[in-house]
Chains A and B, each alone.
Chain A
Amino acid sequence: MINLEVPKKFAFVIGQAHRVATEVMRPNSRKYDRAEHTYPRELDMLAAVINGMNESGALSGAGAGGVSRGGSRSGNGASADDGGTRNGSNLASVLSVAEVSWGDVGLLLTMPGQGLGNSAIAAVANEEQLERFGGKWAAMAITEPEAGSDSAAIRTTAKLDGDEYVLNGEKIFVTSGDRAELIVVWASLDRDQGRAAIKSFVVERDNPGLKLDRLEHKLGIRASDTANFVLSDCRVPRENLLGSPEIELGRGFAGVMQTFDNTRPLVAAMALGVARACLEETRERLGQAGIRIDYVTPPLSQSAAAAEFLAMEADYEAARLLTLQAAWMADNGKPNSLQASMAKAKAGRTGTDVALRCVALCGTVGYGEGELLEKWARDAKILDIFEGTQQIQLLVIARLLLGKSSAELK
């Protein structure tokens, strides 16, 4: 039966996430925006609490680590079917990620143990690997200087040598790369065989072949470190390859790309959190200026500011529901590549658009560093870029709708 309300059973999870956001994230927002590259010590204590909650099942997948296909693997706190539908860890994850991002998305991105590498591990690791890597903070290294959105063009290579793979190449834009314990590195087993040869490898952060090149200075999400690495003869055990070691031509990216169906709704959720923070702050400031948002009077009969607000809130609503839809489909084992990309595209652009317009609505209060709106507007931009830019999402969606291959629709 059609119902688009958040189930009551998630109230506790969301409440916990909200407390984290108000008590830990918000008070430290400006501090780590200014002190870029300084590790937010406050999060260590939080990580312990979150891990505890994860294990008890109370916080069913509050971070990236919790999502997986069909919710089959997590089993954490997601109750069984009820009338045929399931609300599990994917839905719980997007809701709690949105809530924590409402607090501060930069800090969320550097939450110990909640890296995007954790999602990759959760999505494609075997039982033995789950055992070995579980509980460790894992970052994700895909992008290279010459391969951004075009992940198939990556040049990092992996050669089998005895019982080890030897990795060589350069990786940039690795979120939490300096702080994580593991880096999931995408590399090619054979550059002549294209995408099918691209596999992901788990590299321990203290591997001597993995050298930190530098940390980036960024527009926003400064609390989160963004690392560039050089891999030179970096040796990892062959058991650290995630998924199948075979190069299956024609299967393309299936293994590695599967991760994205799970993580795109999470990034969409981050954008939702930032957008909601902006909208709430702006609503309050507009209220102080004597503007009340009226849902009954037609927007065109209200002030321009109120009409603008309603327009933003409507797009926020659309983005939010698209995100919940994608997560719900994952929880119910329905293929959701199309919906995941739709959610990411809509939420990504809405987050940036809403944040920038809220800054303008609030004038110097919005633009000045005295409040957080200007920071949120800077933070929001990355959410329309990483895990697939706006343009990549539109491409993915179009190929699916039009039945086009990547060779036909470039």
Chain B
Amino acid sequence: MSDERDRHDEPAAEPASLEGPLPDREADEQIRRMTRRGLLVMAGSVGAGIVGYKWLRNSPREAGVEWPLRRTLEANERLSRAYFSRARISPTFSKSDITRPRVNGHQGLDVKADASAWRLNLQGLASGTASVGLAEIKALPRREMITELRCIEGWSTIVQWTGARLSDLMTRFPPITRDGRAPDVEGHPGNLASYVSMETPGRGYYVGLDMESALHPQTLLVYEMNGQPLNWHHGAPLRLAIPVKYGIKNIKRIGTIRYTNVRPADFWAERGYDWYAGH
């Protein structure tokens, strides 16, 4: 009956005598010895686990989260960016799938701001800086997509976005490069500045993006939402739709776009969230 069990190859450290039947007293003594040892190892492991967890949770924080957790978020980001491909597209939907849009916070959406005075400031261009009006954005090829906006909280909505590709804006106003040579947005995008920073006028809200995600074909500078001109609560006159990121990166009322080789600050990443927040 024990042939099934004999297949286990346990370390030979166990005395061979344990393999046969033992007189009751010797068996009881052996089992007591083994139980004592087993429970001690278990208690030791539980103790080590508690000490380890306490160490983790008491480590100094970096941008709102314990540093080992921050390092892990960054390691996860490196893996994700190594796997990321601009050819992978966020699933698209039909008009009948569109759901009621949701407004979830007003950071950076100062109601007193003057829409008519709005200009988009471009910084970190190969040519220095530029100031662009909405007409110039609308003059870029018009793109439309119906995608899912996924909030970091867990809910999602399906929205029709209309606007210009951020990559088309970059072709029109090329960013600085990594090595200082002349930019070639279409031919050599890998040499463009590593990051993009976007902020609301007055910098009440700001996001940082990696260049690969910014160049994704579904990353749009949006001026129409669900077939209507963008309204004030959804970030008029110009907002970002970036389905390869969580909702928090879909910044409303963009005032400044800055290309940079230094990792930009990000509103929610400073409050304990993952800087990458990618999909």
Q: Are A and B subunits of one complex? A: no
